[in-house]
Amino acid sequence: MIFLPFLHFFSFIASAALAVFIFYRDTRSLLNRMSAFLMICYSLWNFGDVIVHNPDRSINIELVIIMQNIASFGWISFASVFLSFALAFTKNQNIVRKKWFLLPVVLLPALFIYLQLTNNLSVNPVRQPYGWSLDWSDSVWTYLFFSYYLIFTLLSVSIILVFCRRLKDSNEKKLSKIVVVISMVGILAGTLMDVVIQNMGIYRIPPLTNLMVFIFGSGILYAIFKYRFLTITPTIAAESIVSAMDEFLILLDQEGVILNVNKATLATLQYKRADLEGKSITAVLPQNDSVADLYAKIIEKKSFTNREGSFRAGNGQNIPVIFSSSPVRDNLGSVIGSVLIARDITERKKAELALNESNEVYRNLIEKMPDGVYKTSHDGQVIEVNPAMLKILGFSSKEELMGISIGKELYFDPMDRERLTIEGIDKDLISYRLRKKDGNEVWVEDHGWYTYSDSGEILFHEGIIRDISERKQAEKELIIAKEKAEESDRLKSAFLANMSHEIRTPMNGILGFADLLKNPNLTGEDQKNYIEIIEKSGERMLSIINDIIDISKIEAGLMKADIRESNINEQIEYVYYFFKPEVEAKGMKLYYSNSLMADESVIKTDPEKVFAILTNLVKNAIKYTKEGSIEFGYEIVQSDQRLMMRFFVRDTGIGIPKDRQAMVFERFVQADVSGKNAYQGAGLGLSITRAYVDMLGGKIWVESDAGSGSVFYFTLPYIVAGRKPVVADNTAALEKPEAEMKKLKVLIAEDDETSKKLVYTFVREFSQEILEARTGNEVIDLFHDNPGIDLILMDIQMPGLNGYEATRKIRQENKDVIIIAQTAFAQAGDREKSIEAGCNDYISKPISKEKLMALIHKHFNPHNNKSFGEDPVCQIKTKK
């Protein structure tokens, strides 16, 4: 028996090689894989028996048990693998892949292998002449294993036998017979040697089932080369393709009778094979004219491809298909029938319907979207646009744009074309300008892309355009605002630097010369000069403070126009006489012009603001004029179908450069804002003037050339007040007030000691008695205790009871006493509040003696029987 180990070794090598060979033939085939696994089982079985059936005395029992356990992986798994092979061979691959099948064919061999490894199947190795033999354990596990082995192997052979009987193809029949014969020989011989003989107690004959199985392997190898078993043949491939194909395949004879159909036809049309085979093709064709033409072509054996139609299913439903037909010829080339191949296009039709609906939605979306959508050819000519695109470009119909080249005809700036050529128009987002139909420009933001052919050529260009003109305008305005803010910051810096100088300079004069006045050795002339310097410095500081307050009120929106009657002629004359001494002191001439009669010069406006405008412009002319003359006045002009008063202030001064003229009305700006500015002032006067003109409904501008003088113009609405002005000549009253008035009993209501002393000094010369009060309550008490008071100078802001409330209480008892309100606020509306509270008149701080005297003369001069009008600055008319 020395040859037995070599025979096992040969079988081991041959089985392993055959497994590799089968895998190599077709690794994706389930049948090939099962055949290879079967050969692996045989290989493992023979590998173990190389030692188990070896008569070498040096082999011990422990090695035999190990090798028997290794072999058990083959002889235990054989039955399960053989059943899987049988199912794959009989084209029941789908069963092999089911979980309910895989569980027993995997778990049962695993169980019995475990039992073998734990000495519950083959046991008690005994040395024999041929090697070693093993007994089967006398346990239920042994009989369960025999049952598993026989059931699986016999079931496998039965499946193959039943399959063999059904086959019509001769090659497949022969293959099936070979598999049945070699399987039966191997199984019967193996059962006889490994089970029957061993159970009969005959141990002299070795178990040779694994060698008998080699017959199975040889038969498989013969089938591979003889009948191309486990390989793809044209016939098998064709049958497999026809069986597996999703398309319908219908074979017809010359009369159009159905000879055969594939599974896809039966499954999709829901017919049984008997329902169709032997029936005319008209059984599956709906009845209509197009089908009649199709049927005629089939009968005439004509070829056609990709015709759309429909087949009638077994449930009566029409299935949309696309089909082709071609004649079938025999070996002699004669037409013996035709084959009809069709594809179910139900899903495609659904997709087309959905696509059409989607396209409709897309078209509606494109038509209604606010952004422009365009499509152009490769050379830029318009192919398609939506309504929004027409609106952006100002066209009324698509036809107007068709064929127009956007790049050549619609780019507003040729530089845009060059820039986009360099940068590329298919960037994610670009912006440029287009020319509208009316020639105006429109800024657009374009998100465009190219569509290319398979060869890389540009087919067309598409894009979405958004009108960003408003955004560009906002950006432009933002840049301008930023520049203005930067300019404003620069001017404010210049203003703050200048303001320090403007405030410190008059303050230096006030404090310095006030200190010099303490010198007891000063002459009267020196004292007079020092006092004049202090007065001028104070007026200059007051002017600066007033400008700052006014511009602050303007910026805060607190400055309001107080429209009432105003005599323009009186104001012009007053300004003339007010500034005449100052102008003549510089060696220049001052002229004025009134073009209206007295009864036509009273208009509805804010007299205080008109006076401020004229004063600012004349002061500005005096400041920048060193020689020559200054002239101011007004005339009536027609503007926008209404009458306007156009005022002018003309000087022969330094003039204003053209590039500075628009800036002089800005805050903190002078004609020259350099650090070497030789002119005093904060640069606020013209800004305040423009704000006042705007409030009064007019406009202001300047005409000038550097070195040639300037002319400032401003306009006001000419609205006649409807009453004749009353003109009073107070020259005499001003010249000798003490001769024209009686001595007055005066009550000064003032909480500030300095202001009280100043007012006391002003009224002392024409008063017979002066009373003083610091609070509103003191005013009431003094008025009750001192009958015969002629005049009350009422400070508005006092502790406790303010001036308004004190005035109201006094008016409850006395309607005749003259009360003049005085306040340091000078806010718009203060005059009206004072008059409403019961005051006769109003004066703002700082109080000048001239203004206060004018008010007192207004109410106490016996020669003054008429009103001067309501504006204190217009109370005096000075003779020319």
What is the number of alpha carbons within 13 Å of residue 541 lying toward its C-beta?
A: 18
Closest to 50 in 3D by CA, of 34, 74, 17, 20: 74
Q: Which two tokens stand for residue 463?
A: 């894009």
> What's the pLDDT band for 826 if we cut at 50, 70, 90?
low
Distance CA 826, CA 613 (A): 17
List of domains in the chain: 3-235 (1.20.1070.10), 245-350 (3.30.450.20), 369-467 (3.30.450.20), 560-717 (3.30.565.10), 731-863 (3.40.50.2300)
Rounded distance, CA 405 to CA 385, Å? 13
Residue 333 backbone dihedrals phi, psi, to 5 degrees: 90, 5
* Mean local confidence (pLDDT), 306-332: 85
Q: Which of 274-283, 336-345, 503-512, 616-625 has the highest mean pLDDT?
A: 616-625
State both tokens at 741: 């008035």
| pLDDT interval class at 678 (50, 70, 90) | very low
The three-state secondary structure class of 479 is helix
Residue 674, pLDDT > 50, answer no
Question: What are 508-531's pLDDT values in tens digits?
Answer: 778 888 888 888 888 888 888 888
833 compared with 221, residue with greater pLDDT: 833
Q: Name which of 316-320, 383-387, 559-563, 678-682 the model is least confident about.
A: 678-682
- What sign does the dihedral 82-86-88-89 (CA atoms) show? positive
- Residues pairing with 10 in the sheet: none
pLDDT at 620 over 60: yes
Q: Tokens 């006094």 belong to which residue?
A: 810
User: Above 50 in pLDDT, residue 785?
Assistant: yes
Which amino acid makes up residue 397? Answer: S
Q: What are phi and psi of 716, to 5 degrees?
A: -140, 145
Output DSSP code: residue 873: G
pLDDT at 233 over 50: no
The β-bridge partners of 765 are none
State the number of CA atoms in the 13 A half-sphere of 266 facing the CB.
Answer: 14
Confidence bin at 591 (pLDDT 50/70/90): very high
CA-wise closest residue to 824 among 559, 546, 557, 606: 546
Beta-sheet strand order (sheet of 818-823)? 767-773, 744-749, 791-795, 818-823, 841-844
What is residue 281's DSSP assignment? Answer: G
CB atoms within 10 A of CB 799: 10
Contact indicator for 428, 447 with CB cutoff of 8 Å: yes
Tell me what pLDDT residue 872 has: 37
State percent of the chain over pLDDT 70: 80
8 Å CB contact between 847 and 823: no
Q: 32: how many CB neighbours lie within 10 A of its CB?
A: 20
The three-point CA angle 578-581-586 to 5° equals 130
Q: Which residue type does 430 have?
A: I
User: Which of 29-33, 297-301, 489-493, 734-738 has the least mean pLDDT?
Assistant: 734-738
Looking at residue 871, its pLDDT comes to: 39
Dump pLDDT digits (tens) for 691-716. Answer: 999 999 999 999 998 888 999 999 99
Average pLDDT over residues 203-224: 61
User: According to the model, what pLDDT value does residue 302 have?
Assistant: 78
pLDDT of residue 749: 94
Mean pLDDT of 487-497: 73
| Cβ count near 227 (within 10 Å) | 17
Residue 314 gets which letter from DSSP? T
Q: What is the pLDDT of residue 75?
A: 82
CA distance 156 to 613: 120
Q: Using 50, 70 and 90 to split pLDDT, how confident is the model at 109?
A: very high
In this prediction, residue 635 carries a pLDDT of 92
pLDDT higher than 80, residue 211: no
The yes-or-no verdict on residue 295 having pLDDT over 70 is yes
The pLDDT value recorded for residue 878 is 30
User: DSSP alpha helices (H): ranges in 517-650?
Assistant: 524-556, 568-585, 607-624
Cα–Cα distance measured from residue 33 to residue 88, given in angstroms and rounded to the nearest whole number: 9
pLDDT tens readout for residues 840-853: 988 888 888 888 88
**730 phi, psi to nearest 5 deg:** -105, 15
Phi then psi for residue 826, to 5 deg, are: 55, 40
Give CA–CA dist 454/462, Å, rounded.
18
- Residue 465, number of CB atoms within 10 A of its CB: 24
Q: Which residue has the higher pLDDT, 539 or 371?
A: 371
Per the prediction, the chain carries an average pLDDT of 80
Give residue 846's pLDDT: 81
Which two tokens mark 703? 């005409």
Please compute the mean of the pLDDT values over residues 466-486 and round it to a whole number: 88
Residue 171 pLDDT? 60
Categorize the per-residue pLDDT at 192 as very low, low, confident or very high, splitting at 50, 70 and 90.
low
Helices and strands of the chain, counted as H and E runs: 30, 24
- Vertex 456, ends 453 and 459: CA angle to 5°? 40
Q: At what angle do helices 568-585 and 607-624 cross, to 10 degrees?
A: 20
Determine the pLDDT at residue 283: 84
Query: What's the whole-model pTM score?
Result: 0.38
Question: Is residue 629 predicted with pLDDT exceeding 90?
Answer: yes
- Decide if pLDDT at 869 tops 60: no
The helix (H) or strand (E) run that includes residue 432 is strand 430-435
Q: What pLDDT is attached to residue 506?
A: 78
Residue 734 confidence (pLDDT) above 50: no
Region label for 278, one of left (φ > 0), alpha (ψ between -120 and 50) or beta (otherwise): left
Among candidate residues 854, 874, 832, 866, the one with its CA nearest the CA of residue 567: 874
Tokens of 721: 């007040």
DSSP-derived secondary structure for 16-53: HHHHHHHHHH-TT-HHHHHHHHHHHHHHHHHHHHHHHT
Of all residues in the chain, what percent are helix, strand and coil, respectively (each to 5)? 50, 20, 30
What residues contact 849, with CB distance under 8 A and at least 6 apart? 762
Query: 400 CB contacts (<8 Å, ≥6 apart)?
Result: 437
- Segment holding 667, helix H or strand E: none
Residues 115 and 121 sit within 8 Å (Cβ to Cβ): yes
E strand map for 196-334: 248-253, 258-261, 304-312, 318-329
Instruction: Find the DSSP H helices in 245-345.
Output: 263-269, 273-276, 289-299
For residues 790 and 770, the answer to whether their CB atoms sit within 8 Å is no
Low-confidence winner among 140-144, 618-622, 688-692, 873-877 (lowest mean pLDDT)? 873-877
Per-residue pLDDT band at 675 (split at 50, 70, 90): very low
For residue 196, what pLDDT is reported?
59
pLDDT at 724: 43
Q: Is residue 726 scored above 60 in pLDDT?
A: no
Lowest mean pLDDT among 359-368, 378-387, 720-729: 720-729
**The pLDDT of residue 138 is above 80:** yes
Provide the 8-state DSSP code for 443.
E
Tens of pLDDT, residues 386-436: 888 888 888 888 888 887 777 666 765 666 655 555 555 555 677 788 888
pLDDT on residue 730: 40
